[in-house]
């Protein structure tokens, strides 16, 4: 594999009144149009319909594709070339994680907002799992959040024992860290800057060589961040061996994380460094993964 460094009408006298009503209607329509244009992202050539942005996501990365979809509770940048998101971004809070979980959906669905959408059948008999980028468990606090997490724009081809092994370990630890720190900003996705392993399905979905996850705790008293890049394959290595700085993930993915949130000078150290002692890893989860999850 390529080198990887680890560390959504009357006539007559009523005519005047009609003119007035038409004039008022035109004014109201104009005002509504202005509001609509303010809060709606018009589609590019790669999307159909409109994508309504009612959420002020100030922590989303910069999109390299120009196709940003705003879903309830998470945003994503879609790559028409690779038929999957280059990143998904969302806020993960202890309050949401502690809410009762809604029922998990069982059906994956195409996303009609993009042209030539990927379908669940593209993954059939491919040897790869339909891997969530924004995990269903992170979106289990609301029905609409859960439903949108099962759209195929939130799915990427993951090796079975990667998805159910080390990636599961990282997702579960991320929820633990969010509970411990109250709120985390999470950005995750496939590494598309490097040549894919190949493609699957009639839609030609790229199979990423690796996946990344970036976590930011931007609250006092101790702001901190950490990143991971993990090969898309089974792993028996300890998870912390794949840890690195947010800036290192940027360099390997070609993406820019938190451009509206982090100050280039004041927050430089936050992006360039990391401390694994500030993130509690689990020996028990590592043992579960290497002794059970990797074989399931």
Distance CA 21, CA 93 (A): 49
Say if CB 266 and CB 236 are below 8 A apart: no
Given 8, 82, 132, 263, which residue is catalytic?
Answer: 132
Cα radius of gyration (the chain): 22
Q: Is 132 a catalytic residue?
A: yes
**CA-to-CA dists, residue 94 to 174, 182, 228, 279, angstroms:** 11, 5, 21, 16
Q: State the CB neighbour count (10 A cutoff) for residue 175.
A: 17
Residue burial 226-247, b: 16+ Cβ < 10 Å; e: rest? bbbbbbbebbeeebeebbbbbb
Q: Which residues are catalytic?
A: 132
């Amino acid at each position: 594999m390529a080198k990887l460094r680890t560390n959504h009408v009357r006539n007559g006298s009523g005519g005047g009144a009609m003119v007035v009503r038409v004039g008022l209607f035109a004014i109201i329509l104009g005002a509504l149009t202005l509001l609509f244009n303010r809060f709606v992202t018009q589609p590019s050539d790669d999307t159909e319909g409109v994508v309504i942005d009612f959420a002020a996501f100030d922590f989303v990365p910069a999109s390299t594709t120009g196709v940003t979809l705003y879903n309830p509770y998470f945003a994503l940048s879609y790559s028409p070339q690779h038929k999957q998101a280059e990143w998904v971004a969302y806020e993960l809070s202890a309050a949401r994680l502690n809410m009762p979980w809604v029922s998990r959906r069982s059906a994956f669905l195409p996303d009609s907002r993009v042209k030539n959408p990927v379908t669940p059948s593209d993954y059939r008999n491919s040897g790869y799992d339909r891997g969530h980028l924004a995990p269903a468990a992170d979106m289990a606090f609301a029905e609409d959040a859960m439903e949108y997490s099962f759209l195929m724009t939130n799915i990427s081809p993951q090796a079975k024992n990667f998805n159910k092994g080390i990636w599961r370990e990282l997702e579960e630890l991320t929820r633990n860290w969010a509970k411990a720190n109250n709120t985390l900003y999470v950005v995750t996705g496939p590494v598309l800057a490097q040549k894919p392993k190949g493609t699957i399905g009639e839609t030609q979905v790229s199979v990423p060589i690796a996946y990344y996850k970036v976590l930011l705790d931007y609250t006092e008293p101790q702001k901190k961040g950490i990143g991971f890049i993990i090969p898309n394959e089974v792993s028996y290595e300890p998870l912390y061996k794949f840890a690195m700085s947010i800036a290192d993930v940027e360099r390997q993915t070609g993406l820019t994380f938190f451009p509206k949130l982090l100050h280039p000078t004041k927050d430089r150290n936050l992006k360039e460094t990391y401390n694994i002692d500030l993130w509690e890893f689990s020996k028990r989860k590592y043992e579960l993964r290497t002794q059970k999850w990797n074989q399931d």
